[in-house]
Structure 1
Amino acid sequence: MAPSLGSRLEVVAASAQEEIVLVAPFMKEAVLRRLLAVTDTRVDLRVVTRWHPVEVATGVSDLACRQAALERRSAEFMLCSRLHAKYFRFDNRAFVGSANLTASGLGWREPSNLELLVDSVPLQDFEDDVAACSVIATDQMQDLMEQASRALELQSIVAPSSEMPDLGYQDRAGVGHDIWLPRCRDPGALFDVQAGRHDDLTTTLTRDALIDLRHLGILSVEDRNAFETNVAAMLSYEPIVIEVLEFAKEPKRFGAMRDWIARRCPDIVDPVRQTQTLYRWLKKFLPEKFGFTRGNYSEIIHVLEPDTNRLRN
């Protein structure tokens, strides 16, 4: 019988001397630790995955993978909400295919999935693309994801497949610029829209809410708290939020933020309206990250407390 995919990866991991790159949407802590156990602790490590509350709540992925990675001397743990690829590089040898870093994916549990990993040269363009759309996972992101997954455990949810379900509408949020920005002017209406209660809302508001929900991958739930904690968790690692956190380390007046958004996304027709919409989302879903004050006829945004990439005590 041929060795399992996981055993093949273990052999190559044990021979790595410089850098390991592990990219997969689903990861389990025990599997990641098993691979790292055979790896020289001096080898640099970069892990890229995605976190989604429903995937954590149903046991598809483990948030503890972050701790397993960051216990190493030189490690980086990143998140990419758009991630579907599986790519594993050990120095100058790479594997590309269908297997996630899970026991069933790597053949370490019966019954195992029928998966494929093909030997490849390193794909630098792919690694650059992944890095460009990923963010470093932080303590606060992990806290929000834990809260959201716990809230979902009380709901009637179905374990996801490797693909998020098609929610039945077109995602046009990415058209025209390379970063997502919220479209729905009333974030408080998102809950009613996902629940199908939108007869009293305008067609435009409903359409924009559906586009935003599709982008964030929010599944329908009956409990408002579970819904809002899910939105907060997914919003927390959107690239635009990470960029605003950096830009607003020093308090910024509305005009400065408007001009920054106009430069960041030059195709936006109305930067004032877009800035207002973004502020409404941040106030609604991430009040622990951002504060807003009034001063000299302008609204001022500031970061309430720095987020951290350190392991929590």
Structure 2
Amino acid sequence: MNFGNQLKNLCEKAENEIILVAPFIKKSIFQELLKLTNPEIKITCVTRWRIEEILMGVSDIEIWESIKFFPQASLWLKNNLHAKYYRVDKNCLIGSANLTANALNWSNNPNFELMIAVNSDDDDELKQFEHQLFDNCIKVDQILFNLYQSAIVEQKELFSLKLDINNMYELNKNANQDTIKNWLPTLRNPEDLYLAYRNEYDKLTNITFENAIIDLSVFALPQNLSKTLFNFYIGIQLLEKPIIQEIDNFVTTPRRFGEVCDYLNKIKGEKIDYVNIKIQWQTLMRWFLYFLPSRYGLSVPNYSEVFYKYQ
């Protein structure tokens, strides 16, 4: 069955909203659907960008260049995404097909796929799926897109090494969901994290190495990364952490040091003395500026630190 034509017909008739969810999206297919769509309609796209998959050609980050010109459109990244879900107003297609030519039966050698048509008004589970879909998602902007582009160029030269994305840094196995949900960095000097990742513990104090191990446990990292790619992986996954996302949203408006401390104390929901809150924010601020320097900035007007996110 030609699922691609079904989806095209739905997009062409869209009146209010389109949601496109797929791990793999090719730019040509994406553009084909967008050109049929009223540009004033709300369009939400959720996908995942793993550098190895991009380099293998199964997905294109350039879809950002297409969607960013639609005034009511947004693009989101969800690292563990596997679902394929397409809703146009109340009409849904759910199943196995990504937004690729082979999956949508627009090639000479199409995949064998399954897609089922469902009315979203009649299915509470689909509403729950959409609600949970945006947990730990990262919204794409030009700065984030540029960061991915730089990382892809860096790793392209190393692609012959065929880094195994399933051979993750072993400490990740020690982390549980509660740890990840409430995590904030403990390592005061983020530049030391790579030394711990490389097991160069002879260059670190015992307490620094212990703190680095605690922080590394909440990240999923391929082994043998260069320092540039290591910093990229940490930066992107940093933005997926729940508390970090709340702070990221809060500093969209420039914030003074005390404002962020008060907000951090509020969202953590714990009784922590103010000295420790200050230390936690100082540490997190260092991580932001070190791993995501193109996203965040710090100014010191009138001897008071103001932290902000570049727009």
Q: TM-score, normalised by structure 1?
A: 0.78
Contact 1:57 1:150 survives alignment (8 Å)? no
After superposition, where does 1:35-50 map in structure 2 within 5 Å? 35-50=33-48
Task: Give the share of equivalent positions with the same residue, in percent.
Answer: 25
- Distance between the aligned counterparts of 2:91 and 2:164, measured in 1? 31
The match for 2:280 is 274
Contact 1:69 1:77 survives alignment (8 Å)? yes
Contact 1:173 1:180 survives alignment (8 Å)? no
- Distance between the aligned counterparts of 2:81 and 2:250, measured in 1? 26
Q: 1:179 to 1:110 in 2, by over 3 A?
A: farther
Contact 1:55 1:159 survives alignment (8 Å)? no
Which consecutive unaligned segments of at least 5 residues does structure 2 have? 121-125
Which consecutive unaligned segments of at least 5 residues does structure 1 have? 308-313
Query: How many pairs were matched up?
Result: 296
- Distance between the aligned counterparts of 2:293 and 2:37, measured in 1? 41
How far residue 114 of structure 1 moved from its aligned partner, in angstroms, is: 3.9
Contact 1:144 1:233 survives alignment (8 Å)? no
Q: 1:219 to 1:206 in 2, by over 3 A?
A: same
The match for 2:162 is 158
- Distance between the aligned counterparts of 1:233 and 1:145, measured in 2? 9
Greater RCO (CA < 8 Å, at least 6 residues apart): 1
Contact 1:141 1:237 survives alignment (8 Å)? no
Q: Deviations over 1:221-248 (max 9, x none)?
A: 4422232234334445666555434433
Contact 1:86 1:100 survives alignment (8 Å)? yes
- Distance between the aligned counterparts of 2:175 and 2:231, measured in 1? 22
Q: Deviations over 1:11-59 (max 9, x none)?
A: 3333322211111222211111122233344433111223333333333
SS of 2:134 mapped into structure 1:
helix
The match for 2:10 is 12
Q: 1:185 to 1:213 in 2, by over 3 A?
A: farther
The match for 1:311 is none
Q: Deviations over 1:169-190 (max 9, x none)?
A: 3253641674653354442233
Contact 1:19 1:44 survives alignment (8 Å)? yes
Contact 1:182 1:212 survives alignment (8 Å)? no
The match for 1:250 is 254
- Distance between the aligned counterparts of 1:165 and 1:120, measured in 2? 38
The match for 1:306 is 310
- Distance between the aligned counterparts of 2:225 and 2:180, measured in 1? 33
After superposition, where does 1:2-81 map in structure 2 within 5 Å? 3-81=1-79
- Distance between the aligned counterparts of 1:134 and 1:182, measured in 2? 20
More helix by share: 2
Q: 1:295 to 1:83 in 2, by over 3 A?
A: farther
Please, what is the CA RMSD of the aligned residues? 3.3
